[in-house]
Amino acid sequence: MQRTIFDTPILRHILPAFGRLILRIFGWKIEGEFPNLPKYVLIGAPHTSNWDFPIGMAICFAREQKVYWMGKHTLFAGPLGPLSRWLGGIPVDRRKSNSLVEQMVQVFGEHEQLVVAIPPEGTRKKVEKWKTGFYYIALGSQLPIVLGYIDFGRKMGGCGEVFYPTGDIEADMAKIRAFYTPIVGKRPENQ
């Protein structure tokens, strides 16, 4: 994977304090810890606003957790491209039916340490059903899914439980969705 802000020599020593400062200024707190695991899929939910990204990054900075994230390919066009990649972005073209799951399983297999955040909704808009790519990436890579969240109702973000997919997607998704039931996005109408 590409070099990111988390690898930048001088910044990596400043980022934890910067993340804590940003969270304090905006009144946010972190609960739970990132698990001490070398590889996992991190759900970032609910994803209802552009504010999810800076709050999520501040949490990662404060906890010194290097995280890559999947984002819409248009975020990587033009001058934003190098910046988005430097911030840990992996472009995804949602218009194309491609082998994204297989590609990500291969990427996880090629790295000893890798955490990738994926918004299960696939968009900030309201969706009736979550995308299942994150689930199949974890299942195919034999990795856990960490339930990360940003709760605007309590101004609290962090990690919940570590979930190991069983292959029974309906039962597993019901358990995962139940975890997120009390969590409020910036725009609850989009949940």
- What global pTM score does this model have? 0.87
Confidence of residue 187 (pLDDT cuts 50, 70, 90): confident
Whole-number pLDDT of residue 115: 97
Whole-number pLDDT of residue 124: 62
Whole-number pLDDT of residue 123: 62
DSSP secondary structure, the chain, as one string: ----GGG-TTHHHHHHHHHHHHHHHTT-EEES---S-SEEEEEEE---STTHHHHHHHHHHHTT---EEEEEGGGGSTTHHHHHHHTTEEEE-TTS---HHHHHHHHHHH-SSEEEEE-TTSSSS--SS---HHHHHHHHHT--EEEEEEETTTTEEEEEEEE---S-HHHHHHHHHHHHTT---SSGGG-
Query: For the segment 46-88, what is each residue's pLDDT rounded down to a tens digit?
Result: 888 889 999 999 999 999 999 999 888 888 889 889 999 999 9
pLDDT at 95 over 80: no
Query: For the segment 154-172, what is each residue's pLDDT rounded down to a tens digit?
Result: 999 999 999 999 999 999 9
Q: Could you list the residue range(s) of the whole structural domain that residue 77 is in?
A: 5-190
Peptide bond into 38 cis (omega under 30): no
Place of tokens 């400043």: 14
Structural domains in the chain (count): 1
Q: Which residue has the higher pLDDT, 90 or 187?
A: 90
When the pLDDT of each residue in the chain is averaged and rounded to a whole number, the result is 90
Query: Cα separation of 100 and 37, whole Å?
Result: 23
